[in-house]
Amino acid sequence: MSSLFAPLTLGDLSLRNRIALPPLTRCRSEQPGNVPGTMMVDYYRQRASAGFMVTEGTQIEPRGQGYAWTPGIHSEAQIAGWRKVTDAVHAEGGILFCQLWHVGRVSHNELQPGKQPPVAPSAVAASGVRVFIETGPGAGILTEPSMPRELTTSEVKAIVAMYRTAAENAKKAGFDGIELHAANGYLINQFISEHTNFRTDEYGGSLDNRLRFLREVTEAVSSVFGSHRVGVRFAPLFSSTEEERVYLGLVESDPQATYLRAAQMLNALETGYLSIAEADWDNSPDMPEDFRKALREAFRSPIMYSGRYTKEKAERMLEKGWGDLFGFGRTFIANPDLPARFKMGYPLNDVDSASLYGGSQKGYTDYPFYSA
């Protein structure tokens, strides 16, 4: 039997396998209010045989939204909606973390309270990505992000406090832990990156200063759940693409130095796990092996990898000792019983790309379980 089916200890949790549902934006929350509804309960329940599950990105406050119909974790109705999701997953013996998300500059005035500009470390517009705005009930368009405004130092500290509140809300909603979205060019990544952070206060300048926001947010949410119930997701890109995309990330002049320093910092904070989102566009190059090895040295707790993973690639990574847990995105969307299919060698359903973002049960909760 594949070692993907060996249990894994994550802090004080025991995962029944190494097959994870990674965070996947699906834009299926109920309106008004971006509330998780019955459809989302069914979707997560169906996939609860995963050893580990992370929710789609969940905005910590109204300004943190960059796409129509993504769920939040800042209102009582949202907390109650998520409680139904966690209850359903726990009834199946699953483990579910909430991914706390703030998009920062990757947003649009139409999505912002009072149609204000989005907020960011510095007033630099995002390029090469799209945001999704509603044009009518159940209808929307992809468009360019709006020009952001720079946060004041006191506003940055207020957002750190919002992350703590979001973690408290996630705890009330019954989540087992939280993951911080520090990847794909969103707010935490904007603070880390030399391309988006031109601040002159304690949150800008040196790499340690650019990592300060991540450090403070990690400490804030760890005070709620304990550090071992907190994960951080990075997208350490070593190259980019001209491909038209909804999300991407930022390529640092020295990605290895940037992310190894971040990993060392999180290791010292005893963070529960690192989640690495690899380049996932067509013909994207493999992550450098020396980076994988160095990351393993820098960070001693479990490391999760995802980005176009196959069962075979995950097994190779396990064998080499570079990763512990593997996220299967589109494959898990299309195969709610993915662990059983991997175990038994059953054929896989194909994903329907047209129904990934927004819509009904079609392409969401109607993918069939395997039947012989």
Do 338 and 50 contact (CB within 8 A), yes or no? Answer: yes
Question: Pick the catalytic residue: 44, 67, 163, 186?
Answer: 186
Encoded tokens for 121? 């470390």
**H or E, element range at 287:** none
Q: Per DSSP, what are the bridge partners of residue 139?
A: 136
Q: Per DSSP, what are the bridge partners of residue 8?
A: 15
Closest CA to 8 of 50, 57, 56, 55: 50
Task: Name the CA dihedral angle for 83, 89, 93, 95, rounded to a multiple of 10 degrees.
Answer: -80
- Residues 227 and 10: their CA atoms lie apart, in Å, by 11
Task: Give the CA diameter of the chain.
Answer: 62
Answer left, alpha or beta for residue 335, where phi above 0 means left and psi between -120 and 50 means alpha: beta
Do 63 and 52 contact (CB within 8 A), yes or no? Answer: no
Cβ neighbours, 10 Å, residue 236: 24
Q: Which amino acid is at 36?
A: P
- Residues 181 and 187: their CA atoms lie apart, in Å, by 8
Alpha helices per DSSP H over 151-236 = 153-172, 187-192, 207-210, 212-225
Q: Which amino acid is at 270?
A: E
- Residues 97 and 69: their CA atoms lie apart, in Å, by 20
Work out whether strand 96-101 and strand 139-143 pair parallel, antiparallel, or are unpaired. unpaired
Whether 364 sits among the annotated catalytic residues: the reply is: no
Encoded tokens for 333? 């969307």
Q: Which amino acid is at 72?
A: G
Answer left, alpha or beta for residue 3, where phi above 0 means left and psi between -120 and 50 means alpha: alpha
Which CA distances in Å does 276 have to 79, 119, 223, 306? 27, 25, 23, 6
**Active site members:** 186
